[in-house]
Amino acid sequence: MAKRDFYEILGITKSATQIEIKKGYRKKAIEFHPDKNPDDKDAESKFKEAAEAYEILSDENKKARYDQYGHQAFENGGGGGGFNGGGMNMDDIFSQFGDIFGGGGFGGGGGFSGFGGQQQRRVKGSNLRVRLKLTLEEIANGVEKKIKVKRKVQAPGTTYKTCSTCNGAGQVTRVTNTILGRMQTASPCPTCSGAGQTIDKKPSEADAQGMIAKEETIPVNIPAGVVDGMQLKVSGKGNEAPGNGVSGDLLVAIEEEAHESLQREGDNLHYDLYVSLPDAILGNSKEIDTVTGKVRIKIEAGMQSGKILRLRGKGIPSINGYGKGDLLVHVNVWTPKTLNKKQKDFFESMREDEHFVPKPERSDKSFFEKVKDMFS
């Protein structure tokens, strides 16, 4: 089933401000909250759906990628979509977005418990960030890369016990009576910092939380068509959290390496082809680079400098899966800077020859028309 539009889910428009996005999520979260809809699977699904939409739209970088690429930007390792199509854990939602209602609770006279009031708060490990350089060929074809990282993991032999302050909830709640009714707020437990557990035993090499650094090689699938600066996410491959917490994520920032002869512009590629004067006059064929190997193209007799040859489908695949860009070959006729006497005499004799007098045809487009055609 196709995923619904995130703006539609929150009942807002694409031009909504961050304040309006937050209000839209708050409204939906209250409407479908599990405490208000016990044992209602449809309401739970919509509650998760709203959380996923808010997770993307509340982050300016993720929102920009979603506006440009849609759901595809966060699929197949596309990074940033924190809940992987709705398969998230309710605890993650409560721990990540509980503060949207102020102090982590719904409060007020609503009559239902605080945000996540019956859920154990789970601490999430910190994210790891790496930069990954890719060639244009790797970007065009997609590639799997193996990345070495040092992660914090729970040390073997470490044991935990339930926090005596919060009894494993990871948070402490406070209920106060106001003129509006009973107000319930929640905050991370000061003893266990929200983990719900404290260290019981740990090996000497572990830190105060029972963690050690471990080097690990992680495979990362890079989809074809990624762009420089795009951030991909490998869920659960960041630092582990102590106790029963959830692991952070590995965030991979893409860096595109410069190509020796190709220039990228969106999904299109540009190639400068220099041809000699004899080849331009008589015609020939030339071998040029593409991201899938070399190809040979024909230089028609009488080729004019500034001609643009379009090789359709020889560009970069769209990250959205909508076909491929083109390779635009810019023909530049090379004029020699030095000539011997024989060559000078030949061209001197041709100076007034009618075949060498410029005679642009109406079909010959101007520079600005050629540029316009490139983007049409």
Domain residue spans of the chain:
123-158+202-257, 262-374
Task: Give the pLDDT score at 106.
Answer: 38
Task: Give the pLDDT score at 43.
Answer: 86
For 262-374, give the CATH class: mainly beta
Least-confidence region, from 79-88, 138-147, 191-200: 79-88
Residues 285-298: tens digit of each pLDDT: 999 999 999 999 99
Task: Give the pLDDT score at 60.
Answer: 85
**C-beta of residue 106 within 8 angstroms of C-beta of residue 115:** yes
Average pLDDT over residues 121-125: 75
Residues 49-107: tens digit of each pLDDT: 998 989 899 888 888 888 877 877 776 545 444 444 444 555 555 555 555 544 333 33
Winning range, highest mean pLDDT, from 79-88, 174-183, 233-242:
233-242
Whether the domain at 123-158+202-257 and the domain at 262-374 fall into the same CATH topology:
yes
Residues 246-276: tens digit of each pLDDT: 899 999 999 999 999 999 999 999 999 999 9
pTM, entire model: 0.60
Task: Give the pLDDT score at 285.
Answer: 95
**C-beta of residue 41 within 8 angstroms of C-beta of residue 86:** no
Which amino acid belongs to residue 292?
Answer: T
Q: Which fold has domain 123-158+202-257?
A: HSP40/DNAj peptide-binding domain (2.60.260)
pLDDT band at 1 (very low <50, low <70, confident <90, very high): low
pLDDT greater than 90 at residue 40: no
Which amino acid belongs to residue 97?
Answer: F
Tell me the Cα Rg of the chain: 31
